[in-house]
Structure 1
Amino acid sequence: MIITNLHLLHVPVLILQEGSLIQHLMINQQKLQKTWLLIIEFKQMHNFGKWKNEQFSLEVDDQINNTDLGTQGIYSICGSTELVNIFNIGVNLSHFRSQCQITMRTSLNTGTINAFWGIRAFDIYLAKCFTGCDQCIGPLKSDCKVCSSGWVFYKNLCTHPPPMLFSQISITQTKDSQSDQKNSMKIHLLEVDYSIITQGDFTLLIQNNQKILTIQVYVKCFPNKTINSQLQFNQIQNSHQYQFLKKCRQTFNSVIYKVQYDLRAISEQKLIFSTSDTKCVIQQVIKVADELELIKILEILLDDKFWHYFKNQHYFFPPIKFKISESKLLNAKNQATNPFVCICYGGAYSLQDLMILILNYSFSQMLFKSKISLIQQNKMYLPTFQKVLNMFILIIYLVELSENFDCFITQIIKMETFHHAFFQLFKFSFRIQRLLTVQKVKVNTSFENSIQKGAVSSQNDLNQQQRPEEKLYYLLSINFRVTNNQIIDYVLIKIFRMPKLPESSLNIAQKLKDEFLYHFDIFAQQPNFTILNRSKFPSILGFITSIMIALFGLYFFMTEVVSMVSKSKPAIYQTELSISETEPFILENDNFTLAISVVNRYSEPLIGIDRYFQLNISQCVRLRTKDQFSGNVSVNLNCTQIPIEPCNMSHFTTDLQKEYFSIIRMGGIQCINRKYLKENPLILQGQISSNAFRYIFIQFNACQNTSLSKMCAPQKEIESVLESGHYNVYKSDYLTKLDQPGQPYQEIITNEFTTFSLSTSKTISQKYRILQTSSDEGLIWESIQDQSNIQQSEWREISEFYNNQYIVVHYIRLDYKQTINIRTYVKLQTILGKLGGIFQIFIMVVAIVLRPIIENFMKLEIVDSLFNFSDQNHTPVQQSSHAMMIQTDRDTKLQIAKPNNQLKWQSPIQNTQHTTLSQSRLDPWLIIFGCNQSKKKQFIVAKNKINKYLEIVNILRKLQDIEILKKILLSKEQQIILKKHRRQIDKNGFCIKKEPQNYIQNNNQIHELDNCMIQQKSKSVLDQLGIKIQEQKHYKDTFNSCYKLNEIKSLDDSEIQEPVAQTPKT
């Protein structure tokens, strides 16, 4: 808080009667501005005489403060008989105005007489806001409500200059061939054109006239490194931090960060740069009140990818070294045969060496046999779950980065302990928290206490009190003084105390594996039913339609392949870029034509260079350099005059040039010297604001005598010749033909001309735009071909009064825009994708029409194989004898010998004429499309029967009936034998028929016994059920448990009914 002590009024002792007032108006705006508190102190306010508790009122801008004056004074001043009362009054008031009115008065009481008051003086103190704040409500920096001009709010504080606001960022990965010659970090400020290539801390004052500032940082990327960049995204009221992580790969060796910031005010910016081989930090200096603060706007770190992870997790471990007593190690070396003990000899041992010792000793137990005395053990430390995971990853990573990695792997690859521990760790990482609890890793408390007290001092004591794995754990923990106990303790616990996996966990893992295979195996086969011994039903109609679709697909495929091979239908995308720095574009005789001629108003060439006029062609180079220390920018312009000569056909080498200039008079056309052009080709590069700017400069002016040359004609003759005419330029241009395969550009030669006279000076600006075409010409894989050329984009003329210097000056340079064409051709996989989509659409549309027809063809063939149909035009007697016959394939093919007394019943069946619905290839079409109504009716009836038989409820019902019959006809033993019976097939695929004689005899006896039992049980069952066989006409059905059904009952189509399950009668 800033207090300004302002003594505004010092009044001597005034004697005022009660009811009088003093009013003062302060209009000192400069003092009262930017204040938030007003303190008024009255020094020695006197009241004389007798008062009757009147009040003294102090009014400050209508804020009233009252003080009771009492009744009588207590002091006697200067021998006066009247007593005086003295008050000191102080008032604190909030104040935000530019003026202040102070009023002092006393209340008037009619009963009071001889009462006076006065003040000696009063002081006024002003509490002002801090620098940069015009209006505040308190002394804190965050109490400001209105900032001063040029100051802005940032995190509720007034700052100057305003923090730079992040606008956009681009990160480019490049393969820099010259990266070895550059520093690891390079900073370039584009708008002010300032570069920082040295390392250290720098403070830079930047005066930028633009409202943006672009910071470009070049970072060299090394293998196995990670570029971590943090960016401060400042908003008006808040800020966020964004982090980008870029892993260095072999495909690029440098990364360019281009960050653009918006400046809210054009003012001087103070930046602090801190650079080294591994970091780049940029901070902005801003002013808050009278203090300077730093805002980090960009940070780029080049660091190890692994260490970066642990830094973020706050588990960064320094390089770990272990120390062991040399005497103990020598003792172990002499008594143990372990070859790895010698690796660590020397006093300081890496983590790799320790891992080798631990893993090798896990089974050899060589350390147990050596007599190594125990020393005081450090207190054990059990790490938490997250730290355990981080430490194990750290161990593996350190081993991987070690120089002797191959040797290390070769040694431990034979150790099953390492494989087991490594597998178990990652398989049960989710259980580490529980495994490392006190119940799982707790050691014998008494033994631990005895170790700490020094009670156990020999190997025998150790062997007597602890298990082998605990012995090894304590020995290694005691003899190795570890700087980081978390790692070694965890490795020992994890390797030697990993419990076995419970059986329930194995079952869960097996179930998870089975479910995973079931749901994610896209080639899993589903069981399918067969139709007439075929997995699917083919038809002529479906075959013909398939052939037609295949032919159409083949036609489409061939046309697309022809288009792909000929590259006749490219997909073209075009975009434009604004460029400032470009690579040099070289113009040679085979890709660029430049010839100049001067003719009079009658189009006749003017012959007379260095007599009537002068024509000069120059290659100009302007280089802009900036001193890194002083910041001064120097511009160097150098124009080299190019020798010219009259053109002839030898100047033109390409077919296009020869064809074009073969019909043009060569007398007055000037060309560049062939030898010079071959050795020094023309170059176009960059823009006016670029560091390197190359352009072509052509000047046409009247001839003027000099001290070196006086070959010019008289002035009147020159003015007569150059009174008027045309300035002609024969130049190359290119047409863009992206629809043609191969070269996307076609060169043409055009003639641009303009008039001239001695009364005007004319400036011609000719610009060429860079065209870059990227063509993907691969048939299957991507194959990018980049081609570039230039195309005229501007021809602009500016005329002015003749300046006695030149008649025509002609500039040829690059345009500030670059056009990028991306041309892609259809690939084979795209054609196959389109073809697959067309096939799907055709199949869906055709299936809607053909599926019902083909389904009827299939049902008709099934009906013909299951049913016999009779001719409906026969007599009723014939109908009864030739009715529809229902047979199963098993009944027709299986021949069973019947008794002689049953042969008479076979004649009706044998004499019956069996017919099918489709007698010819045309019949199925007539039946399906309704041309034969009688057969269509039979087909519909039979199809409905088949649909009923295929009903899942009926199938389940039949299966239930079979189970009931099995329980009725077979004993439990027979049911078990039937269930376990499997037909044997030999290696040649034939059923095994030869069996041992004893086995056959036993089987025959069993079959005879079973047959008799079946006959008896069937006879009793039939008697119980009361089944009676109805006789019809000349024969009747008979049933015997030892034989199949002898005769097939002949039924009419109207009598075919669905069989219904029967239940036994009770």
Structure 2
Amino acid sequence: MQKNKIFIKGIKQFDLFAQPLQLLIDKKEYHQTLFGSILTVLLLALFSNLLYQKIVTLFDRSNPTSLSSEIYHSQPEQYSLMPSNFTMTFSFQNSTYKTYIDESIYVVNAYMVKKNVKLQNGQKADVYEKQELPLVNCNEDLIKQKELKEYFSHIDLPTNYCIDWNQIPSIQIQGTFDAPKFEYILIQFNTCTEQNKKSQPCKSQKEIEQVLTQNYFSFQISSQTTNLKNPNSPYQPKGQDVFTTISNNIYKEISIYLEPLTTITDVGLIQTNLEYEKTLRYGRHTEMLDLSQSDLIMNVAIRLDTTEYVDYRTYPKIQEILAELGGLWQVLFSLFYIISKPINKISLLLELINSLYEFKDKQHYEDNSQQKDSSSIIRNDKPGSPLQRQLEQQQVQNCQDQIVTNKTLSIKENICNKQIQKDRSYKTILQTYVQYLLRAVFRKNKKMKFGYINAFQALRCIVTKDDDNILQFRSAHKEIDSQLNIFNILKRLQDVEKLKHIIFNENQRILFEKFNNIPQKDKLEEQRLYCDQQIKQQGVTQDAILQILSDQNNQINQKLIASLDVTVSNLLQKCKQDNNDNLEKN
């Protein structure tokens, strides 16, 4: 049996949901104040605003967390250039920066070049294959990217070359010059000769040199900008310009590098769900010059760069938002708790002191003393109790009646009448005393209540001179701190209940419950029904007082009466003694 108790006690130590032991204030576990309620409303409003913002961010995905990196590839993967993601225009410009197409001056050819490494006679050899790309004069229909229509609208499209996407669906590029597989776009510009002329006959060499003097090369290509805050697509098309000088006496080779872009997005609300988006953008270009007397003016190579830019972006998940809100709640709650803790502590202390202790204002006490002194002088030191004054009047009346009765009645009749009058006098005394005690029990004594200013002064939050009120507050505070022990409180309450049932009878307990500063059972409900039940309570109390007065031999009854009014108690004892003396004489 002992082992089972030890085992159960050990198991109970792991209870994380244990109920703490605490006192109740008016059936409430916590002491609540108006200041704390205002701070709570502010805290809930602030936290609700943060919660709303987090929920909006969760669904509109406007604030992702991103991480960028650069990855080197010796063999970049293959990318497809299509009308929806690639647009290119190019042409020559004269000295006035006006583009022109004149096949009698220069001839343009575009190729899709593929390099493969093959084994020939046991050795590796690079094999190049060319596929001609169709070129036409540009028009608006060939600009398939809607976002770039405005950009290309400022260009004189008919005087520029474009890829004819109506004849070729897509173009593939991949790798680098050193890679086993290398695919790129090559555009060649030659002066018009009999060998390469197309639809128009070539002009003379002198005219060609004169036209190509102080010319420029204009090249426009589509590129991309990255906006990771856009949840639909992180890429936004834009146009990129390349301008350079050209001459028929100098050969120029331009390499335009397209950088691979990759965005990895985690779109899962709880678990990881990755989406990949890939595209190309203009990265850089290089130029090489060579003095040459051939008809080749310029080569333009469009190829991939070896560096890939990768963006990782993640959106807040539900568990992350809950964890973040939990941390914010703890921080905000701690901050507001630090602000409200001193005020709530002082408020609780004030409620305890004002409820458990009665302090009379010094000035009020002195005024009452002066009034009592003056009234006693006017009344020639007559007792303040109305019962004592009535007893004295009754004694005077009895003496006068006794003189008249002795003259007119016989001794026997006088004794009978005297006994009847004494009974009537005691009955009148009891009725008067009951009414006096009822007023004493139900009257509300005016007492001083402490406020926040007194508490701040007593706790030295405000530097002031110590007066009687501050000393009383500190004394009560010290006593409350020493007595606020749950075990002592419960033990004393049990002892009081035991004493009440052992010492007092039912009538004595009714009168005992009416004392000030004695906790009453169901006090809150009695206060609510006080106005409706006041008459009934007075009747019950009156019956209890009458029964206690009828049993003056009980010492507890005598102490209860003496605790209410010492003067009345002495008068009752005197009347009782006189009554006993008269009975003994008779």
TM range (shorter): 0.5 to 0.7
Distance 1:603 1:1037 in 2: 131
In the TM superposition, what is the alpha-carbon distance from 1:902 to its structure 2 partner? 13
| 1:944-973 CA-partner distances (Å, limit 9, x unpaired) | 3333333479669969989999xx99xxxx
The residue number in structure 2 matching 1:591 is 85
In the TM superposition, what is the alpha-carbon distance from 1:530 to its structure 2 partner? 1.7
The residue number in structure 1 matching 2:535 is none
Distance 1:701 1:1050 in 2: 128
Alignment partner of 1:671 out of 162, 167, 180? 162
Question: Which secondary structure does the structure 2 equivalent of 1:674 belong to?
Answer: coil
The residue number in structure 1 matching 2:183 is 694
The residue number in structure 1 matching 2:250 is 760
Within-5 A mapping of 1:365-380: none
Q: Percent identity?
A: 26
In the TM superposition, what is the alpha-carbon distance from 1:876 to its structure 2 partner? 4.5
The residue type paired with residue 531 of structure 1 is I
Within-5 A mapping of 1:847-926: 847-872=337-362, 873-874=364-365, 875-876=368-369, 907=436, 910-911=439-440, 913-915=443-445, 924-925=451-452
Question: Which secondary structure does the structure 2 equivalent of 1:807 belong to?
Answer: strand
Where relative contact order (Cα < 8 A, 6+ residues apart) is larger, the structure is: 2
Q: Which has the higher strand share?
A: 1
Question: Which secondary structure does the structure 1 equivalent of 2:49 belong to?
Answer: helix
Q: Specify whether residues 1039 and 739 from structure 1 end up closer, same or farther in structure 2 by C-alpha distance, changes over 3 A only.
A: farther
Q: Specify whether residues 1038 and 532 from structure 1 end up closer, same or farther in structure 2 by C-alpha distance, changes over 3 A only.
A: farther
Alignment partner of 1:620 out of 113, 117, 124? 113
The residue number in structure 2 matching 1:648 is 139
The residue number in structure 1 matching 2:517 is none
Distance 1:796 1:537 in 2: 78
The residue number in structure 2 matching 1:368 is none
The residue number in structure 1 matching 2:39 is 545
The residue number in structure 1 matching 2:233 is 743
Distance 2:187 2:322 in 1: 57
Alignment partner of 2:130 out of 621, 639, 659? 639
Distance 2:344 2:196 in 1: 107
Question: Which secondary structure does the structure 2 equivalent of 1:812 belong to?
Answer: strand
| 1:572-599 CA-partner distances (Å, limit 9, x unpaired) | 3211101133432111112111122123
The residue number in structure 2 matching 1:945 is 479
The residue number in structure 1 matching 2:74 is 580
Q: Which runs of 5+ in 2 are unaligned?
A: 374-382, 385-428, 459-465, 504-551, 566-586
Alignment partner of 2:284 out of 794, 797, 802? 794
Contact 2:254-2:285 within 8 A present in 1 as well: yes
Q: Which runs of 5+ in 1 are unaligned?
A: 1-502, 883-899, 970-1035, 1052-1066
Distance 2:553 2:231 in 1: 86
Distance 2:444 2:179 in 1: 101
* Aligned Cα root-mean-square deviation (Å): 4.5
Contact 2:107-2:196 within 8 A present in 1 as well: no
Distance 1:751 1:956 in 2: 89
Distance 1:916 1:838 in 2: 49
Question: Which secondary structure does the structure 2 equivalent of 1:794 belong to?
Answer: strand
The residue number in structure 1 matching 2:94 is 600
Matched, 1:536 2:30: yes
| 1:449-486 CA-partner distances (Å, limit 9, x unpaired) | xxxxxxxxxxxxxxxxxxxxxxxxxxxxxxxxxxxxxx
Contact 1:575-1:821 within 8 A present in 2 as well: yes
In the TM superposition, what is the alpha-carbon distance from 1:665 to its structure 2 partner? 2.3
Distance 1:934 1:725 in 2: 104
Distance 2:79 2:167 in 1: 18
The residue type paired with residue 248 of structure 2 is L
| 1:970-994 CA-partner distances (Å, limit 9, x unpaired) | xxxxxxxxxxxxxxxxxxxxxxxxx
In the TM superposition, what is the alpha-carbon distance from 1:745 to its structure 2 partner? 1.9
Distance 2:66 2:310 in 1: 10
Question: Which secondary structure does the structure 1 equivalent of 2:86 belong to?
Answer: coil
Within-5 A mapping of 1:228-627: 515=10, 518-519=13-14, 521-609=15-103, 611-624=104-117
Q: Which has the higher helix share?
A: 2
Q: Specify whether residues 718 and 954 from structure 1 end up closer, same or farther in structure 2 by C-alpha distance, changes over 3 A only.
A: closer
The residue type paired with residue 674 of structure 1 is W
The residue number in structure 2 matching 1:823 is 313
Contact 2:360-2:448 within 8 A present in 1 as well: no
Contact 2:186-2:302 within 8 A present in 1 as well: yes
Question: Which secondary structure does the structure 2 equivalent of 1:621 belong to?
Answer: strand
Alignment partner of 1:685 out of 174, 179, 184? 174
Distance 1:871 1:1037 in 2: 39
Q: Specify whether residues 621 and 532 from structure 1 end up closer, same or farther in structure 2 by C-alpha distance, changes over 3 A only.
A: same
Contact 1:771-1:818 within 8 A present in 2 as well: yes
Distance 1:558 1:879 in 2: 68
Distance 1:658 1:962 in 2: 95
In the TM superposition, what is the alpha-carbon distance from 1:648 to its structure 2 partner? 2.0
The residue type paired with residue 756 of structure 1 is I
The residue type paired with residue 49 of structure 2 is Y
The residue type paired with residue 720 of structure 1 is Q
The residue type paired with residue 518 of structure 1 is Q
In the TM superposition, what is the alpha-carbon distance from 1:809 to its structure 2 partner? 0.7
Distance 1:744 1:707 in 2: 45
The residue type paired with residue 265 of structure 2 is S
In the TM superposition, what is the alpha-carbon distance from 1:601 to its structure 2 partner? 3.0
Q: Specify whether residues 716 and 879 from structure 1 end up closer, same or farther in structure 2 by C-alpha distance, changes over 3 A only.
A: farther
Distance 2:34 2:23 in 1: 22
Distance 1:592 1:856 in 2: 74
Question: Which secondary structure does the structure 2 equivalent of 1:675 belong to?
Answer: coil
Contact 1:1038-1:1046 within 8 A present in 2 as well: no
Distance 1:624 1:879 in 2: 125
Distance 2:146 2:261 in 1: 23
Question: Which secondary structure does the structure 2 equivalent of 1:608 belong to?
Answer: coil
What is the TM-score normalised by the length of structure 2?
A: 0.65
Contact 1:780-1:827 within 8 A present in 2 as well: yes
The residue type paired with residue 758 of structure 1 is N
Q: Specify whether residues 707 and 763 from structure 1 end up closer, same or farther in structure 2 by C-alpha distance, changes over 3 A only.
A: closer
Q: Specify whether residues 658 and 811 from structure 1 end up closer, same or farther in structure 2 by C-alpha distance, changes over 3 A only.
A: same
Distance 1:635 1:904 in 2: 130
In the TM superposition, what is the alpha-carbon distance from 1:698 to its structure 2 partner? 0.9
Contact 1:735-1:745 within 8 A present in 2 as well: yes
In the TM superposition, what is the alpha-carbon distance from 1:516 to its structure 2 partner? 5.4
Q: Specify whether residues 753 and 554 from structure 1 end up closer, same or farther in structure 2 by C-alpha distance, changes over 3 A only.
A: same
Distance 1:737 1:758 in 2: 43
| 1:149-195 CA-partner distances (Å, limit 9, x unpaired) | xxxxxxxxxxxxxxxxxxxxxxxxxxxxxxxxxxxxxxxxxxxxxxx
The residue number in structure 2 matching 1:774 is 264
Deviates more, 1:551-560 or 1:925-934: 925-934
| 1:833-879 CA-partner distances (Å, limit 9, x unpaired) | 44444443343344344323322322333344434444542335999
Question: Which secondary structure does the structure 1 equivalent of 2:184 belong to?
Answer: strand
In the TM superposition, what is the alpha-carbon distance from 1:743 to its structure 2 partner? 2.3
Q: Specify whether residues 631 and 700 from structure 1 end up closer, same or farther in structure 2 by C-alpha distance, changes over 3 A only.
A: same
Distance 1:682 1:786 in 2: 21
Q: Specify whether residues 668 and 843 from structure 1 end up closer, same or farther in structure 2 by C-alpha distance, changes over 3 A only.
A: closer
Within-5 A mapping of 1:8-19: none
